Amino acid sequence: MAQQSSRIVREVHDEPHIEGSRITVRHIYERVHGRGLRPETVAERHNLDIADVYHALAYYHDHPEEMQEVEAQREKAIESAREKTTISPPDE
């Protein structure tokens, strides 16, 4: 198998993203598979090379356990933020 150069790194928020940007692999995957956007559309909207979009999608599929862990960490962070920002009625 030929080895390809990938621009997927983990420098921002410990989540895989496209090198030189803050656009995460999960974000690319969600736009293409969750919203049904074409990879070309995602590349245009985020000023990316189309190859970067395909690298991100390949990374997502090649690293399912890592991506599940990323999603679990994201859900945990969301829940923690909800707990910290929930306004409770004053004690009487």
DSSP assignment of 35-73 equals S---HHHHHHHTT--HHHHHHHHHHHHH-HHHHHHHHHH
**pLDDT tens for each residue of the chain, 92 residues long:** 344 457 899 876 689 999 999 999 999 999 999 999 999 999 999 999 999 999 999 999 999 999 999 999 989 988 888 888 766 667 65
The pTM (predicted TM-score) of the whole model is 0.79
Which residues, 6+ apart, have CB-to-CB distance to 24 below 8 Å?
Answer: 12, 13, 15, 16, 17, 18
